[in-house]
Amino acid sequence: MISLRSETTRNSHRWARWLFIVCFVANADEALAQEVRIGRADCSEPVHLVARQAPLSSVLKDLAESLGFELVYQSQRDLLVTRNERLSATDLVRDLAHEMNFSIEQTFDPRCLNSRRVAKVSVLPDTDDKARSTSALRPAWQTPEMDRIARQQMSDYLRSHGMEDQSIEDIAVR
Amino acid sequence: MGAGDKAKPGGDPIPFAVPKATCGPNDKPEAALQGQVPATLRASGFKGFNCNLELIGQYRGEGANWQTTQFTDKAGHRCAYHGTASPTRSGPGRQQLGSRVIDITEPTSPTPTAYLTTTSMLDPWESLKVNERRQLLAADNGQNGAGGPEVDIYDISDDCRYPQLLASLPVGTGTDGGGVVTPIIGHEGAWAPDGLTYYGGGRVVPNNYYAVDVADPTKPKLMATWNVPRVATGGRTHGLSVSDDGTRGYFVSIGSINPTTLTDPNVPPNNGLVIYDLSDFQNRAANPQPKVIGEVYWKDGATAQHTIPVKINGKPYVIFVDEGGSGGTTSAAQLQAACNAGMIPFPLARIIDISDETKPTVVSKVALEVHDPANCSKVLPDLTGLSIFTYGSHYCSVDDKKHATTLACGYFNSGIRVFDIRDPLRPKEIAYYNPAGTTTPSAGSNHTLGNNWVAGGPDWCSAQVHLDKKSGTLWTTCQDNGLLMLKFTNGVWPLPGSNTPAGQQN
């Protein structure tokens, strides 16, 4: 694995612009290739990520090694990621992890004017075993109980703000 | 007149929408109208927009709900506080109920330090407020419309990261020692700046504002309750603010005109601003009552949210923010009625001149392109299946109430937006940040209200924004993304003359 963090010269930055890190992991069960490619650009330029059916932990690990940040991955879940996009490093990490309970720490990047780099990404433990076990079948929030709560909240809101109680279906934009 | 109106009498035409921010080369600017997240981007999973603001820190946790407040203690700890959904209105998998205390001293690594789980703090709804002078944090028991008469007060003077409970007690039930027996109902709330009185706005029943004596913060007691002037025609209570000397109150009259009567000249408006003389409360007079000094109402907005008294170039104004558009809070019928009438379909902020406090006058509206009724056909398709708030405003803040140059607001689907208000008739947008949608709702968010959370759709950014000149940052919460720390880029802020003294933002 090549660490781009160690690049300090203008030449090496230029060289890194088109560097891609490629790793293929055979998946015998599904006969699918898991692929992660990371194109790192200078300073505030976007990072190009290409991933196909790759575990989130692997993608973040490769990003961490490429971009030089610390990764703490404590979730029991490991979603499969398929992406082909160019985003800033921060936005890319947020986009990848936004279904998880995560935090990002950033710090100034002394190599670049007016720029920051991601210093640490923590993907925290999942919040509920039950939610975890059902997530593969149906999102945990999509339940009759949540529908009841959604309707109760609407009713609370309307009545508390001087309006007549109405059903969601009556007031939703069609 | 001003932005938000088509023309200024006797002067140059003013565009309906405020001028757009000019973004930098590394920004991801909006793809369509100002404030819009088009249906195609929602369907494919909204990835977010930014202009002159970049994310430098985030704490999603279990999300957030309606509002935020902050305090910096004597040791220099900077603390963020925000509410989360009540226990009975939360999503599955809640790990930790209550209001969050988050250490944001280091902006890039927001860190939770405490969870406040006393009665009111389980969901303070829109009442969680810091009093700077007495270094107190208070809330009433909102519970998103299902709360009761409690007021909770914490001491945050020693270490703001670990608030110390002073009171969590019912008010107005006959046991508080105040002698006034009308149980309060939590919803909105705000301090008098001297920290001796906490005012609140309740729910429809009993539909009153109330003043609570908190001179002894361990024994809050009710002083009085009252209704808004237009209660007979549907005026209700909600947010409020108090002048620095404590003698003036800028209270909203929350009105919801039925969409079918939006243009009926025989149905008067009941949504607007009421300026009260609060001297009786400030001076602790016997049998205190507020006195109405001035009022102004309108029909091109509804469900009034809150106010901020400010001075701009030495002249007094009130920043006033609605939560509903023309004809009521967002709904299919309301949007159609507003659009048919050529009136503003979504709520926005407006600036009200109070130089003559007996005749408060709206001088400008901080409108985005999505608010222009001429754009109804372009924006309504974005909202199919949604039923509330959408492109509307909720809370705003300024940099310095005593010398305001900057207005920063949360718009549910349009993200965080920052405006230059040095010319209050012609506000200009200088930056925005609309975070990416989430693929699951946060368990402590209220975005699932009415099934309005949609996978990949834009978040609900509904909370106060806190500007900080020293670091060139702002922080706020959006309901599913949680706490966001953003840094201004491309030199757009601070503006000349901007300052952010403690306790002067909202």
* Contact residues for B346 (Cβ-Cβ < 8 A; gap 6+): B325, B330, B370, B371, B390, B391, B392, B393
Could you tell me if B269 lies within 8 Å of chain A, comparing CB atoms? no
List B residues 351-410 in contact with A (Cβ-Cβ < 8 A).
380, 383-388
A168–chain B Cβ distance below 8 A for any pair: yes
- Is B17 a domain residue? no
| Interface contact A144, partner B, CB < 8 A | no
Distance of residue A107 Cα from the nearest chain B Cα, in angstroms = 7
Give the number of domains in chain B.
1
- Assess contact for B474 and A133: CB atoms under 8 A: no
Domain containing residue B123: 39-488
Interface predicted TM-score (ipTM): 0.91
* 506 residues of chain B, pLDDT tens digit each: 445 555 455 566 788 999 999 999 999 999 999 999 999 999 999 999 999 999 999 999 999 999 999 999 999 999 999 999 999 999 988 999 999 999 999 999 999 999 999 999 999 999 999 999 999 999 999 998 888 999 999 999 999 999 999 999 999 999 999 999 999 999 999 999 999 999 999 876 668 999 999 999 999 999 999 999 999 988 999 999 999 999 999 999 998 778 889 999 999 999 999 999 999 999 999 999 999 999 999 999 999 999 999 999 999 999 999 999 999 887 899 999 999 999 999 999 999 999 999 999 999 999 999 999 999 999 999 999 999 999 999 999 999 999 999 999 999 999 999 999 999 999 999 999 999 999 999 999 999 999 999 998 999 999 999 999 999 999 999 999 999 999 999 999 999 999 999 999 99
- Shortest CA distance from A87: residue in chain B: B28
Long-range pairs for B164-170: beta carbons < 8 A, 24 or more residues apart: B165/B118, B166/B136, B166/B217, B166/B218, B167/B217, B167/B218, B167/B219, B167/B220, B168/B118, B168/B119, B168/B120, B169/B219, B169/B220
Cβ distance of A98 and B441 shorter than 8 Å: no
Nearest to B61 by CA among B88, B42, B41, B80: B80
In a domain, B129, yes or no: yes
Instruction: Check CB contact of A74 with chain B, cutoff 8 Å.
Output: no
- What pLDDT is attached to residue A11? 33
Q: Is A16 on the interface with B (CB under 8 A)?
A: no
Q: How far is A149 from chain B (nearest CA, A)?
A: 6
User: Which burial class, exposed, middle or buried, applies to B151 when counting CB atoms under 10 A from its CB (0-12, 13-18, 19+)?
Assistant: buried
Structure tokens at B240: 């409020």
pLDDT for residue B26: 95
User: Domains of chain A (ranges plus CATH)?
Assistant: 4-127 (3.30.1370), 130-167 (no CATH)
With a cut of 70, list the residues of chain A below it in pLDDT.
Answer: 1-35, 40-44, 113-114, 127-141
Whether B29 maps to a domain, the answer reads no
CA distance A159 to chain B (A): 7
Please tell me the predicted confidence (pLDDT) of residue A30.
Answer: 35
* Residue B334 included in any domain: yes
Q: Which residues of B touch A141 (CB under 8 A)?
A: 91-92, 440-441, 443, 448, 453
* pLDDT at residue A127, as a whole number: 61
Judging contacts by C-beta atoms under 8 Å, the chain B residues touching residue A107 are: 108
State how far the alpha carbon of B311 is from the alpha carbons of B202, B314, B430, in Å: 28, 5, 20
Interface of B with A in 216-235 (CB under 8 A): 234
- In a domain? residue B31: no
Q: Is B13 inside any structural domain?
A: no
Q: Which two tokens stand for residue B442?
A: 């946060």
Residues B296, B352: contact at Cβ < 8 Å? yes
CATH code for position B466: 2.130.10.10
Instruction: Determine whether B173 is exposed, middle or buried from the number of CB atoms within 10 Å of its CB (0-12, 13-18, 19+).
Output: middle
The reply to whether A160 touches chain B by the CB within 8 Å rule is yes
User: Which pLDDT belongs to residue B4?
Assistant: 57
B335 touching A (Cβ < 8 Å): yes
Contacts of B328 in chain A (CB under 8 A): 163
**Is residue B2 domain-resident?**
no
Does the residue B161 lie in any domain? yes
Residue B325 is classified by DSSP as B
